[in-house]
Amino acid sequence: MAAKTNPPQRPPARLYLATPQLGDGEGFDGKLSEALDAAGIAAVLLRLVPTDDRGLIKRIKPLAPLVQQHGAALLLDGHLEIVARAGADGAHATGIDAVSEALRALKPDRIVGAGGLFSRHDAMTAGEAGADYVLFGEADANGHRPGFEAIVERIEWWAEVFEVPCVGYAASLGEVGALATAGAEFVLLDYAVWSDPRGVTAALKDATAAIANAAAVSLPERQT
């Protein structure tokens, strides 16, 4: 995995949106369409309540073209075996073993994202193995999340050294700007958007503004 050498000015971070866990008949198309219209979403991570493969594909099929027609990539949270059949662009894998399995199953034709990387060693292993991005800041299986300062530090380290894109998970809209400033190429949002009492559009407009402000503030430093 190549280290960065005199990196050029980074473009502003882009938004990566994760859905709630979707079951049958949840009618999520309208909310997702609103979100895709409200902001420039780079990718959507589709989380699904477990069922058989046929049921999963039935849920994915209406959403895949909706996402892709907006110029975004659709990734499944796991479910490697149905990525191609469902028309998805790739999968997000959690944990270094799952990442290795996903790389074997999906590369080079599909995207593989890497999460559950709670050590620098695991992150470097995933990047060197060919993951398309690494994610920092999400909670572990027990719901424990690293301190936010530690998350920002991890993103700064990665952005400074490595070429593989970095995603920062924002548990709230208030974290978006700091993650973008730290050097995350993408900021992942989920419940902060879907649970906002003002609605999806207002939440995403705030996230977009935070990224723009972060880019404006950090521009002089990047030009030095």
Ordered per-residue pLDDT tens for the chain, 224 residues: 555 555 556 789 999 999 999 997 667 899 999 999 999 999 999 999 999 999 999 999 999 999 999 999 999 999 999 999 999 999 999 999 999 999 999 999 999 999 999 999 999 999 999 999 999 999 998 999 999 999 999 999 999 999 999 999 999 999 999 999 999 999 999 999 999 999 999 999 999 999 999 988 765 444 44
196 closest CA partner among 13, 8, 38, 89: 38
Write out the two tokens for 80: 């490697």
Give the single-character DSSP code of 177: H
Tell how strand 90-94 and strand 166-170 pair up. unpaired
Tokens 């990387």 belong to 117
* List of domains in the chain: 14-156+175-206 (3.20.20.70)
Give the C-alpha separation, 94 to 78, whole Å: 8
